[in-house]
Amino acid sequence: MPELPEVEVVRRGLLPFTAGAHAGRLDVLDPRSLRRSPGGEESLRAALDGRLLGAPMRRGKFLWIPLAEAGEAAVVVHLGMSGQVRVDDATRPDPPHLRLRLPVIAADGREAELRFVDQRIFGGWWLDRLVTDPATGERIPTTAAHIALDPLHRQFDPDAVHDRWRRSRTRLKRALLDQSLVSGIGNIYADEALWASRLHPERRTATLSRAQGHAVLTAAATVMERALAVGGTSFDALYVNVDGRSGYFARSLNAYGRTGEPCPRCRDEGRDGVIVREAFMGRSSHRCRRCQPRPRT
DNA sequence: AGTTCCTCCTGGTTGC
DNA sequence: TGCAACCAGGAGGAAC
């Protein structure tokens, strides 16, 4: 499932094929991938055709490609649950679940196709307008303007997040997944950050000390940086980079997807903690029963 | 106004 | 064996 590290891997892969590249005619194989694009297929195609593209940008899980000759516009690319952007030679056969195809001529003259593949169609592309984010001065699409800074952003401020947590009545895992409080974290890295900081997903955020708030946010940043360094987390063919290759971080996960296995930390320290899986807000949560005990209510 | 729930989707897995 | 129900979850918007 694409979260911040996986989206960043895609952004880096796209860079040589968008920055200074020219777009061709967009081919829409499934209009549901343009559900969020105002004006639909026609508007997006008109905005892209023949246009000079800029360097792809990212905040949290949102990725966008600025349209260089119109400093006000960008194409937002969201991978949703199962989205991929592949850079392929046009002669290669269409992969399954291909939804969108955009021919490009890169700045160095190479020709390629950007192929949006999305099995579950939770992701999509849409045309958006760029506005200035008052907090950072950055240009950002209107549909991402409400998204908080992510833990890998230069100006990310854990104290500000902790302050908001202190004033909220919500629980920690929900707060980690709320993209308007801190962005980029999904179910996998939330469980990993909670495990690393020994905190229970249902802990009330208002009861967290500043040190605990820092611990879980630092853990999120660390685990996402480590995942990024090895190409992200792939469980199956649902997440791959622009060349179609999987990331290697799944083998480094300590809690997510490890139901019934010994907790690695407990095992190292001679205890017998086991990873359990529990439903929480309609999602599965994985934690060590021993070192992430349920808080007293 | 803050918080929770539902919906959008497909394909692999589970259960009868 | 076959088919239905269930599960995975990012994010927006409805509902409370």
Residues A176-211: pLDDT tens digits?
999 999 999 999 999 999 999 999 999 999 999 999
Is A297 a residue whose pLDDT tops 70?
no
The active-site residue out of A36, A166, A198, A283 is: A283
- The CATH architecture assigned to A4-144 reads Alpha-Beta Barrel (3.20)
A40 vs A240, residue with greater confidence: A40
Q: How far is the CA of A177 from the C1' of C16 (A)?
A: 21
Q: Is A41 a known active-site residue?
A: no
Residue type, A67: L
Q: What does the pLDDT average to over A5-14? A: 94
- For residue A59, the cross-strand partners are A62
- Which range has the worst mean pLDDT, A145-154, A237-246, A254-263? A237-246
Task: Note whether A18 and A53 are within 8 A (CB).
Answer: yes
CATH 1.10.8.50 location in chain A: 158-288
Is A234 a residue whose pLDDT tops 80?
no
Percent of chain A at pLDDT > 70 equals 97
As a three-state string, the secondary structure of chain A is CCCHHHHHHHHHHHHHHHCCCEECCCEECCHHHHCCCCCHHHHHHHHHCCCEECCCEEECCEEEEEECCCCCEEEEEECCCCEEEEEECCCCCCCCCEEEEEEEECCCCCEEEEEEEECCCCCEEEEEEEEECCCCCCEEEHHHCCCCCCCCCCCCCHHHHHHHHHCCCCEHHHHHHCCCCCCCCCHHHHHHHHHHCCCCCCCEHHHCCHHHHHHHHHHHHHHHHHHHHCCCCCCCCCCCCCCCCCCCHHHHCCCCCCCCCECHHHHHCCCCCEEEEEEECCEEEEEECCCCCCCCC
pLDDT of residue A242: 86
- Residue A233: band (very low, low, confident or very high) from pLDDT cuts 50, 70, 90: confident
pLDDT of residue A117: 95
Q: Is A3 a known active-site residue?
A: yes
Q: Cβ of residue A286 near strand C, that is under 7 Å?
A: no
Task: Note whether A9 and A228 are within 8 A (CB).
Answer: yes
Q: What does the pLDDT average to over A147-171? A: 94
Task: Note whether A117 and A33 are within 8 A (CB).
Answer: no
Task: Note whether A116 and A125 are within 8 A (CB).
Answer: yes
Structure tokens at A11: 């952004």
pLDDT digits (tens, 9 = 90+) for A48-88: 999 999 999 999 999 999 998 766 899 999 999 899 999 99
Sign of the C-alpha dihedral computed for residues A165, A168, A171 and A175 taken in this order = negative
pLDDT digits (tens, 9 = 90+) for A80-137: 989 999 999 999 999 999 999 999 999 999 999 999 999 999 999 999 999 999 999 9
The length of chain A is 297
Q: Quote the longest CA-to-CA distance of chain A.
A: 63
Cα-flanking dihedrals φ and ψ of residue A125, to 5°?
-115, 145
CATH 3.20.190.10 location in chain A: 4-144
Q: Is A267 a known active-site residue?
A: no
Q: Cβ of residue A124 near strand C, that is under 7 Å?
A: no
Q: Is A192 a known active-site residue?
A: no
pLDDT of residue A238: 67
Task: Note whether A76 and A143 are within 8 A (CB).
Answer: yes
Fold of A158-288: Helicase, Ruva Protein; domain 3 (1.10.8)
How far, in Å, CA of A292 to CA of A182, rounded? 22
The active-site residue out of A45, A51, A59, A61 is: A61
